Chain A
Amino acid sequence: DAGITQSPRHKVTETGTPVTLRCHQTENHRYMYWYRQDPGHGLRLIHYSYGVKDTDKGEVSDGYSVSRSKTEDFLLTLESATSSQTSVYFCAISENSGMSTGELFFGEGSRLTVL
Chain B
Amino acid sequence: SQKIEQNSEALNIQEGKTATLTCNYTNYSPAYLQWYRQDPGRGPVFLLLIRENEKEKRKERLKVTFDTTLKQSLFHITASQPADSATYLCALELDNNRKLIWGLGTSLAVNP
Which residues of A approach B to under 8 Å, CB–CB?
Answer: 31, 40-45, 48, 50, 58-59, 90, 92, 99-109
Contact = CB atoms under 8 A, between A and B. Distances in A.
B1 interface: no
B104 interface: yes
A82 B44 CA distance: 26
Nearest to B102: A42
A56 B41 CA distance: 27
Q: How large is the interface on B (under 10, 10 to 19, 20 to 34, 35 or more residues)?
A: 20 to 34
Nearest to A59: B99
B64 to A, nearest CB: 14
A21 B95 CA distance: 30
Contacts, number: 59
B49 A100 contact: yes
A70 B100 CA distance: 24
A28 to B, nearest CB: 18
A31 B46 CA distance: 16
Interface of B: 4, 31-32, 34, 36, 41-46, 49, 51, 89, 91, 93, 95-96, 98-105
Contact of A108 (B34, B43, B46): B43
B76 to A, nearest CB: 20
19 contacts: A42-B89, A42-B101, A42-B102, A42-B103, A43-B91, A43-B100, A48-B99, A58-B99, A90-B43, A90-B44, A92-B43, A100-B32, A101-B99, A101-B100, A104-B34, A104-B44, A105-B46, A106-B43, A109-B43
A41 B104 contact: yes
B42 A108 contact: yes
A108 B45 CA distance: 10
